[in-house]
């Protein structure tokens, strides 16, 4: 392995703002808001402030699945948060999520609004509130185990592998090797589980699949970090089968479009306030009506 650096850490770390990397402009070593900005509020019980990254898509898929199951109380307004422009540091957003990351959710169905941050907490909150997509039998523990597996594992995929393979200003062999090995191990964990059962919790689709699919399904299709060939994702046959089955669900197709501000204009629904918006307010339709 090449000797990539003569760097040795100083006694005390100092912030080098210009250290490069894809997200250097928004990363900082402190929390809290940077500016005053209230969040908009729509007419539905749930207010979602998000962007269609894998963490954001988990929640829009969940809300669309609940609506498809007939839970009208899951109606929601989805507002676009542009993290590359620093919207997550506005005072209103920080009041909903002190961690300044999308997604952030407000349940306004009761007398006092309830804030929920962390996408895994949102899936669990919504599943419990509506009694859906979280099994009540013995497979409940399996479902929760895979849900928490995702929350613990994906940072190695995104913050570890993805960062050093795709976003870091220099390619560091040690870092890419370490995280590529871990991500392949994770794909193997999933593949072995999905050799045993149709879905992660067992026979039925659940919040465990909704948490894992946006990350590992996208990875399996080569859509994350352009790393399909590097990681030889086609070798994980059970992950491929599961990924394709979930992609066919109509709630998943809708959920992927919400708060999407990149890709094909026909796939981008920047804000969602009504079920009809999928037909009339995608970016291609809005451009045609200008």
- Which residues of this protein are in contact with ligand GSH, per CB under 6 A? 26, 53, 55, 83, 88, 100-103, 118-119
CA 170, distance to chain mean position in Å, is 26
Strand order in the sheet with 46-50: 76-80, 46-50, 104-107, 114-117
> Could you tell me the smallest distance in angstroms from the CB atom of residue 138 to ligand GSH?
27
CB of 155 to ligand GSH, least distance (A): 7
Least Å distance between CB 125 and ligand GSH? 12
Give the nearer residue to ligand GSH in terms of CB position, either 27 or 232.
27
Which residue from 262, 226, 285 is spatially nearest to 82, judged by alpha carbons?
Answer: 262
Cβ closer to ligand GSH: 101 or 254? Answer: 101
Are 290 and 280 within 8 A, CB to CB? no
Count of residues in the chain: 290
Residue 164 DSSP label: I
Residues 6+ apart with CB under 8 A from 179: 156, 157, 160, 161, 164, 165
Complex with ligand GSH: residue 44 or 163, whichever CB lies closer: 163
* Least distance in angstroms from the C-beta of 103 to ligand GSH: 6
By C-beta, is 26 or 180 nearer to ligand GSH? Answer: 26
Q: How far is the CB of 241 from ligand GSH (least distance, A)?
A: 26
Q: Which two tokens stand for residue 245?
A: 């089955």
Q: What residue is closest to ligand GSH based on CB?
A: 101
Kindly tell me which of 27 and 280 has the beta carbon lying closer to ligand GSH.
27
Whose Cβ is closer to ligand GSH: residue 83's or residue 187's?
83
d(CA 252, CA 57): 9
Minimum Å gap between C-beta 282 and ligand GSH is 22
C-beta of 54 vs 135, nearer to ligand GSH: 54
**Full 3-state SS string of 203-267:** CCCCHHHHHHHHHHHHHHCCCCCCCHHHHCHHHCHHHHHHHHHHHCCHHHHHHHHECCCCCCHHH
Residue 195 CB, nearest approach to ligand GSH (Å): 27
């Amino acid at each position: 392995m090449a000797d990539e650096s003569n760097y040795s850490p100083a006694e005390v770390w100092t912030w080098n703002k210009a250290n490069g990397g894809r997200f250097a402009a928004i990363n900082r070593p402190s929390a809290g808001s940077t500016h005053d900005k209230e969040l908009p509020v729509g007419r539905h019980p749930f207010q979602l402030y998000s962007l269609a990254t894998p963490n954001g898509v988990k929640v829009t898929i969940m809300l669309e699945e609940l609506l498809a199951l007939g839970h009208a109380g899951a109606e929601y307004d989805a507002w676009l948060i542009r993290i590359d422009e620093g919207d997550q540091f506005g005072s209103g957003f920080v009041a909903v999520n002190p961690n300044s990351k999308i997604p952030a959710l407000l349940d306004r169905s009761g007398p006092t609004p309830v804030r929920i941050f962390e996408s895994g907490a949102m899936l669990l909150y919504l599943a419990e509130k509506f009694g859906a997509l979280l099994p009540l039998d013995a497979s409940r523990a399996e479902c929760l185990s895979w849900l928490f597996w995702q929350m613990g594992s994906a940072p190695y995929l995104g913050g570890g592998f993805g960062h050093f393979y795709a976003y870091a200003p220099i390619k560091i062999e040690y870092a890419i090797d370490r995280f590529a090995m871990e991500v392949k191990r994770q794909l193997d964990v999933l593949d072995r589980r999905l050799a045993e059962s149709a879905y992660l919790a067992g026979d039925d689709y659940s919040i465990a699949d909704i948490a894992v699919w946006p990350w590992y399904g996208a990875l399996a299709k080569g859509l994350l970090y352009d790393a399909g060939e590097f990681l030889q994702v086609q070798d994980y046959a059970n992950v491929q089968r599961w990924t394709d089955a979930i992609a066919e669900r109509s709630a998943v197709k809708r959920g992927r479009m919400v708060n999407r501000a990149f890709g094909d204009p026909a796939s981008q629904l920047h804000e969602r306030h009504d079920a009809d918006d999928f037909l009339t307010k995608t970016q291609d339709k809005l451009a045609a009506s200008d």
